[in-house]
Amino acid sequence: MLLPDLRGDFPILARTVRNGKPLVYLDSGATAQKPRVVLDAEREFYERHNAAVQRGAHLMAEEATEAFEGARAAVAAFVGADSDEIVWSENATAALNLVASGIANASAGIGGEESARFRVGPGDEICVTETEHHANLVPWQVLAAKTGAALRWIPVDDEGRMILDDLETLVNERTRVLAFTHASNVTGIISPVQALVARAQAVGALTVLDGCQSVPHIPVNVKALDIDFMAMSAHKMLGPTGIGALYGRKDLLDVLPPSILGGGAVKVVTMEETSWQAAPTRFEAGSQPVAQAVAMGAAVGYLSSLGMDRVEAHEREIAAIMREGVAQIPGVRLLGPVGDANARDVIGVAAVSVEGVHPHDVGQVLDDSGIAVRVGHHCTQPLHRRFGVTGSTRASAHVYTTADDAHAFVEALATVPAFFGVNR
C-alpha cells in the first residue's frame, strides 16, 4: 500500500458494529469518515474563536473571519483556484443548484446586461450525460423547463463509458451549458474532461463539473482542466457535513446572479431594486456554516499532507483488489469497466449486481460481517436503468481503506449467493 495505515487518525474506525465485529467501512462514496484534525478544528473554532464573521469590531470577530477566509484559501489552493473563486455552499447539490438557479435568474432578466451572457431560452440547449448523479441532472431538467431550452445528454456504453461519437451533434452551437461528472459514483470511471471541455469551448458553452467523487480521491486542478464551474462536497473529502464549495471562474462568478437572496450579499438596496457584491460575497447571503468551513479547510490540509498523487495510487490499488476480486465470483456482475480496462482511469469504487439477490439483501449479509456498503440506485436511476438493474451494492474506498478491508468485502460477497440459495 502506498499510504500507511491511517486508521489511528480516524476515531470512528476503532468502534465495533453488528455482532461486535470490527468496522469495515466501505461507504466513503456516500460519506467519508473524519480524521481527528478535522474534528479538532471544528471544536477549537467553537471553543476559542466563535464569532460572527465579516463584521464586528472585536478580536474574536477578527479571528473568526481569519479562520473562515483561511479555510477558503486552503480549499482554493487545493484545487488550484484563487480564493475569490470559491463560494461556500451547504453541500455540492446546493453548489450545482446555485449555478442552475443563477442561470435561470439571468434568463429572467435578473442582473441586467451584465448577466446577459448566462441567458438561456427557447432554441438553446443544455447538455448533460447519462451517468450523472441526480444532483447534476435534475437542476438542469428544471432549468430547461423554466427557460424553454432543450435538454440533451451524452449516452454511455455497456461499461458506463461516455459515447463521444456524436459529441459534435450533442454539443453544438445552440448548447449553452455542458454539465458532467468528473468521476462516476457507480462505475468509478473518470470522465474524458479534456475532450468535453474542448468541445464546449469550441461552441461557447459553459462547463459545469461535478467534482464530488474526484476532488476527494485524485489530484484536481481547475485551471488545468479549464472548466468554468465545479462543485465539491466537504463530507466526502474527510470534512464535516453541512458545507460544500463551488469553484467558479472569477469573471463568470462576478456576474452570475445569486439565487439565495438576503443580507450580506448586497451592495445597494432601495425599495425598488438591489445590486450585488462581487463574488464570492454575492452568493453568501445569511449566516454561513463557519465552523464547518474551518473544518473543511483542515480536511484539505490533511489530504494535502498525504499527497493527492499518493491518495490516488493507494485507492487504485484498493480498487484493483475489489474489482478483480468480485469479477471472480460466479453470479456477480461488476458495473463498469471489466477485464483489461478494469481499474484504469477508475476511482476506488466497485458497484456490483448479484444475480437473483436484491442489493438490500446483499448489503444486509455484508452488514452482518461488519462491512458497511451502500445499496440502492445511489441517486443515479438513469445509469442503473441503462445497465438493466434497479440498484446495486457499492463498496467505495478512501485514504483509510486497507487491503484487508477490500479482501473482507470480496470474501463476504462470495457467501451471498449461497445464503439466498441462488445456485450456480
Number of residues counted as binding another protein (CB under 8 A): 20
379 catalytic residue (yes or no): yes
Contact between 420 and another protein by CB under 8 A: the answer reads yes
Q: Residue 99's closest CA among 21, 177, 196?
A: 177
Q: According to CB under 8 A, which one of 62, 63, 324, 361 is a site residue for another protein?
A: 361
Q: How far is the CB of 381 from another protein (least distance, A)?
A: 6
Contact between 122 and another protein by CB under 8 A: the answer reads no
Cα-based torsion angle of the residue sequence 178, 181, 182, 184 in order, rounded to the nearest 10 degrees: -150
Interface positions, 374-393, toward another protein (CB under 8 A) = 375-377, 381, 384, 390-391
Give 106-164 as a DSSP string.
HHTTTTGGGGGGG---TT-EEEEETT--GGGTHHHHHHHHHHTPEEEEE-B-TTS-B--
- C-beta closer to another protein: residue 205 or 372: 372
Contact between 368 and another protein by CB under 8 A: the answer reads yes
Strand, coil or helix: what is 415? coil
Q: According to CB under 8 A, which one of 35, 139, 239, 359 is a site residue for another protein?
A: 359
Q: Which stretch binds another protein (CB under 8 A): 57-65, 70-78, 310-318, 414-422?
A: 414-422
The interaxial angle of helices 290-306 and 59-78, nearest 10 deg, is 40
Q: How far is the CB of 50 from another protein (least distance, A)?
A: 35
- C-beta closer to another protein: residue 380 or 401: 380
Q: Residue 30's closest CA among 133, 153, 180, 182?
A: 133
- C-beta closer to another protein: residue 2 or 420: 420
Out of 237, 379, 395, 397, the active site residue is 379
**Residue 152's beta-bridge partner residues?**
127
Interface positions, 328-357, toward another protein (CB under 8 A) = 357
The set of residues, in sequence order, having a beta carbon less than 8 Å from that of 57 and lying 6+ positions away, is none
- Is the preceding peptide bond at 11 cis, omega within 30 degrees of 0? no
Q: What is the DSSP letter of 236?
A: G
Task: Print the binding letters for residues 210-249 with another protein: x by CB under 8 A, - otherwise.
Answer: ----------------------------------------
Evaluate whether 391 touches 333 at the Cβ level (below 8 Å). Answer: no
Interface positions, 12-51, toward another protein (CB under 8 A) = 18-19
**Active-site amino acid positions:** 379
The footprint of another protein (CB under 8 A) covers 18-19, 357-361, 364-365, 368, 375-377, 381, 384, 390-391, 419-421
